[in-house]
Amino acid sequence: MSPKRIPPPSERIPPPSRRILMVCLGNICRSPLAEGILRDKARAAGLDWEIDSAGTNGYHHGEAPHSLSVKVARLNGIDISTQRARRFTAADFQRFDKIYAMAEDVVDEMRRIAGRQFDATKVDLLMNEVHPGSNEEVPDPWYGPESGYHEIYALIEQAANHVVEKYGIKESAKNR
Ligand code: 4NP
């Protein structure tokens, strides 16, 4: 076996400048859309962010996003069909700089799962990026019709624009 080659600094891939996690209950309706929309906007803004999503209940582990989330994303030019659901874990507090929950019940579950590792400084409701401190939720579309998925798409898109503006400007200036 040949010794493992250590790449020179010029060839090393730098770590992402920001790691963001989107969290809902099932990780099949809201947070996969949030992951896909923010990834699309960050890429368009030239930001090397790592974006992921997870669900607190784990009922749909390994599944693709809900067909209506996939459809609504596709109608907006985003492909989220290859995402797979996973459960939120306490270790996500080590891996991510910022964790956005879609609703208050999601934060409660995150607190229960993470226990002592829960870090309130990293957590916020996603819609607080649009209306700070208002604690508005991205409503769960799971039991409703397709219109609910279009509504949450619009809410999440608005919030993603704010996130890219808020953090992106600082980071693109840093990379210059
Ligand atoms: P999500 O919607 O949290 O936006 O993915 C849900 C999907 C599935 C369930 C709950 C919410 N469920 O209980 O199976």
CATH code for the domain of 165: 3.40.50.2300
Mean pLDDT, the chain, whole residue set: 93
Segments forming the whole domain that contains residue 135: 24-174
Q: Count the neighbouring beta carbons within 10 Å of the beta carbon of residue 92.
A: 22
pLDDT value at residue 77 = 98
Give the closest residue to 164 by CA, choosing from 20, 13, 29, 14.
20
Q: How many domains does the chain have?
A: 1
Q: Is residue 138 part of a domain?
A: yes
CA of 93 to the centre of ligand 1 (A): 22
Q: Is residue 9 part of a domain?
A: no
Among the listed residues 18, 24, 52, 92, the single catalytic one is 24
Predicted model pTM: 0.92
pLDDT tens-digit map of 151-160? 999 999 999 9
Q: Sign of torsion, CA 61 66 152 18?
A: positive
Q: Is residue 12 part of a domain?
A: no
Asked if residues 154 and 166 have their Cβ atoms less than 8 Å apart, the reply is: no
Q: Is residue 2 part of a domain?
A: no
CA of 66 to the centre of ligand 1 (A): 9
79 is an active site residue: no
pLDDT tens-digit map of 98-135? 999 999 999 999 999 999 999 999 999 999 999 999 99
Pairing of strands 50-55, 98-101: unpaired
Q: Is residue 150 part of a domain?
A: yes
Atom of ligand 1 nearest to the CA of 31: 4
Question: Ligand 1: does its nearest atom lie under 6 Å from the Cβ of 29?
Answer: yes
Among the listed residues 18, 29, 30, 52, the single catalytic one is 30
